[in-house]
Amino acid sequence: MNPPETAAATSTQVAEAPAVPNHYLNHSKGFLSWALTLDHKRIGLMYLVGVLGCFALGGIFALLVRTELWAPGDTIAGMFASPGSSPQEVYNMWFTVHGAVMVFLVIIPGVPAALGNFVLPIMLGAKDVAFPRLNLGSFYLWVIGALFFVYTLFNGGVDGGWTFYTPYSASQATNVIPALLGVFILGFSSIFTGMNFVVTIHKLRPPGMTWFRMPLFLWGSYATALIQVLATPVLGITLLLLIMEKTLHVGIFSPEYGGDPVLYQHFFWFYSHPAVYIMILPAMGIVSELISVHSHKRPFGYQFIAYSSIAIAVFGFLVWGHHMFTSTQSPAMNAIFSAITFSVSIPSAIKVFNWLATMWGGSIRLTVPMLYGLAFIFLFSIGGLTGLYLGTLSTDIHFHDTYFVVAHFHYVMMGSALIGMFGGVHHWWPKMVGRHYNGTLARISWALIFVGFNVTFFTQFLLGSQGMPRRYYDYLPRYEIYHKISTVGSYMMAAGFLIMAFYLLQSIFGGRKSPANPWGANTLEWHCTSPPPHDNFATAPAIEDCYDYSGIDYDAKIGGYTSRANP
């Protein structure tokens, strides 16, 4: 792991007290200065670009899927079917790729690797993450993993759904192995990021930054990192076993050779359920920041929120079986897993109440990030509450593997994890690029996304309770009307995201310059210039209560806030 003498290279280019306008973006120039950078901010930015690119890719496949489902029978998939293949097969590849890309390339690295990398060390008051080289390494692992996916795309796609259940995944002939290798590599990228964050938070907290002075985003990221380290290796070995099963018929997962398909589901969900918390916990952390900062009021029940993050992380390991209530898992295990599952719902509920209580009596500014924060609370409440139907043994029998599940996890993964991430992007964008985006466009795009999302996915709850199974290329006509509504909603969302892409790009070139502290926040990243200097802090910053807004005053001249404590 990162033998320290290797880091010596960087100590040469350490910036002596950096004077504006020297910041991390213009600190050094040229392709290599980015490709080989050890600066967590640049790495975070590169991650962000990659993740958003993959989000666009996954989004395109989502739109294809929705369009195909506009009417029963073949709609558009036929046009994409090569002579050898049938429309169904084309459609199956679409949803497989959509799922795999969105989960492994977008949501899991999204908040921790992209935003976390940029924000976490500055928030903490550190000069960098603990192992900068490892950090760069995990970025390139991510790139390689992504390349494997691209390869499968151009090599005829991959079938089997992102869960790759055996024995189907072990028996069919599409590019399962390249895809699995890609996921395996992405897994290690995620592990290394997690290790980096845990060590950074343990060892690089400046004096005065005690555990309970840490911003809540750090608590979220810390819990996430623990899961990444402890759960992801099991995914790795599961994929290796599956590859062995495909190539050598080792007989662990394939009944044909003496294996047990349900065992694969245990292996897979032991990682993939905690992975759900890898996705949601950092988003929750972001929202805790957004609500507090834009209400200019300290988070209500800081300790409850902090502890509930850890609680969710730990309980998250004990509930994987609730994905298997109808898989012929034994009734006893069904009961145990259902019981523990409900216990996870409590800390999530606590967070929602605390966020509301934080807004109460605050000084709220309906900025764009705040709008995303509010959207998160609304969507996460729906996502969380509908989880109760699926955690309940009896009702889950009806809902399992229907569109109800699809709607539920889209509310949690997209409506919560991704909306939270975009909230973070809008919150830290001025800090990242030093410029403001167009607020009006941003509000329009927010509205389109928010409304479009609910139109798309709330309809799918109805579809699901009506019994529409997931992963269907064709469906009974009685479901048609819901599918049409859902598809319309997905187009609204697409429009919203196009607008977002436009104003974010436009802001980089034409955006209004952002002051150091445009939102009136008091966490450390807002105490250094926008964009931050190469080394974050010339001298170790004075750590104060990062949620005390009394010393933060608005200065109309600069259109931002100034802090009396460190001006």
Return the residues of window 413-452 that contact another protein according to CB under 8 A: none
22 lies in the site for another protein, by CB under 8 A = no
Q: What angle do CA 538, 543, 547 make, to 5 degrees?
A: 125
Give dist(CA 61, CA 99) in Å, integer. Answer: 9
70 lies in the site for another protein, by CB under 8 A = no
Q: How many residues does the chain have?
A: 567
Question: How many residues interact with another protein (rule CB under 8 A)?
Answer: 164
Q: What is the DSSP letter of 178?
A: H
Question: For another protein, which is the closer residue by CB, 62 or 504?
Answer: 62
Q: What are the helix (H) ranges across 108-175?
A: 108-109, 117-124, 132-154, 168-171
Q: Which residue has the tokens 């992963």?
A: 471
Tokens of 236: 């790795």
Which one of the spans 26-34, 57-65, 237-245, 421-429 is the region binding another protein (CB under 8 A)? 237-245
Query: For another protein, which residue of 189, 386, 460, 523 counts as binding (CB under 8 A)?
Result: 386
68 lies in the site for another protein, by CB under 8 A = no
Query: For another protein, which residue of 177, 336, 441, 447 counts as binding (CB under 8 A)?
Result: 336
335 lies in the site for another protein, by CB under 8 A = yes
112 lies in the site for another protein, by CB under 8 A = no
Which one of the spans 102-110, 140-148, 149-157, 253-261 is the region binding another protein (CB under 8 A)? 253-261
Phi, psi of 560 (to 5 degrees): -150, -165
Query: For another protein, which residue of 175, 295, 416, 445 counts as binding (CB under 8 A)?
Result: 295
Give dist(CA 134, CA 117) in Å, integer. Answer: 12
The gap from C-alpha 526 to its chain's centroid, in whole angstroms, comes to 23
Question: For another protein, which is the closer residue by CB, 337 or 497?
Answer: 337
Three-state DSSP string of 442-471: HHHHHHHHHHHHHHHHHHHHHHHHCCCECC
289 lies in the site for another protein, by CB under 8 A = no
The gap from C-alpha 32 to its chain's centroid, in whole angstroms, comes to 28
Residue from 210, 375, 218, 227 nearest 282 by CA: 218
Residue from 26, 9, 41 nearest 115 by CA: 41
Query: For another protein, which residue of 80, 257, 491, 502 counts as binding (CB under 8 A)?
Result: 257
Rounded to the nearest whole angstrom, what is the least distance from the CB of residue 284 to another protein in the complex?
16
Query: For another protein, which residue of 144, 177, 244, 558 counts as binding (CB under 8 A)?
Result: 244
Give dist(CA 99, CA 514) in Å, integer. Answer: 37
302 lies in the site for another protein, by CB under 8 A = yes
Map the footprint of another protein across residues 342-381, applying CB under 8 A. Answer: 342-343, 345-346, 349-350, 352-354, 356-357, 359-366, 374, 377-378, 381
Give dist(CA 562, CA 541) in Å, integer. Answer: 16
How many C-beta atoms surround the C-beta of residue 138 within 10 A?
Answer: 26
Map the footprint of another protein across residues 502-531, applying CB under 8 A. Answer: 520
179 lies in the site for another protein, by CB under 8 A = no
243 with 181: CB under 8 angstroms? yes
329 lies in the site for another protein, by CB under 8 A = yes
Which one of the spans 22-30, 127-135, 410-418, 432-440 is the region binding another protein (CB under 8 A)? 127-135
Which one of the spans 10-18, 422-430, 431-439, 508-516 is the region binding another protein (CB under 8 A)? 10-18
Rounded to the nearest whole angstrom, what is the least distance from the CB of residue 529 to another protein in the complex?
19
Map the footprint of another protein across residues 263-282, applying CB under 8 A. Answer: 263, 266-267, 270
Query: For another protein, which residue of 8, 16, 31, 83 counts as binding (CB under 8 A)?
Result: 8
Q: Which residue has the tokens 């892409």?
A: 501
